[in-house]
Amino acid sequence: MWATLHGKQKQGPFNLQTAYITYFPRINFSIYEGTSISVGIPLSVGLATMNNELFAAKGNALSYDLPFVLDFNNGFKTGEPGDDLFGFYFGAGIDYTGTRFDSIGITSSKPSGVGFIIRGGARFGFFQINDDLHRSITIGLFHKAGLSTDRFKTVGINLLFDF
């Protein structure tokens, strides 16, 4: 995830790298064969490292994400058993993101708030457990825009493993 903070503070450019652990419950509503609409809550908690180039400051952060998303799904993992081992999704939603810095040399130590999320990606099945269940990898991109100036504007890459 790459993030920038736009606000009244003069923080300067910085780099934020976050690794999340995600739990993603979702419900699929079948539209027609091979497609569905899903409602989900991909809850995430992670640790981040941050480097503020202007103040030569470094620090650690605890970050969390509480989104609510609505996705269109096609192919693999649409909720119906099938032969497809590839699928894609795209969607949008609203989320609450929070980051707590330990000490980074910036004025706002808790940039958080509500914002919008746009997301999309692909799913690949690779290991069959039984007739209806496969292990999979999901690779996706997202963009989050905050409603307040104290919230990060982020672009990120998701890599999810289905256990």
* Nearest-angstrom CA–CA distance, 107 and 105: 7
Number of domains the chain contains: 1
- Residue of 135 and 66 predicted with greater confidence: 66
Q: Which residues pair with 152 in a beta bridge?
A: 5
- Report the SS3 class of residue 1: coil
For residue 52, the enclosing domain spans: 2-162
CATH number of the domain at 59, please: 2.40.160
83-122 pLDDT, tens digit per residue, is 778 999 999 999 988 877 655 555 444 567 888 999 999 9
Q: Give strand ranges (E) for the chain.
A: 2-5, 14-23, 26-32, 35-40, 43-52, 57-75, 86-101, 112-128, 134-146, 152-162
15-74 pLDDT, tens digit per residue, is 677 788 888 899 999 888 889 999 999 999 998 877 766 656 677 778 888 999 999 999
Global model pTM greater than 0.85: no
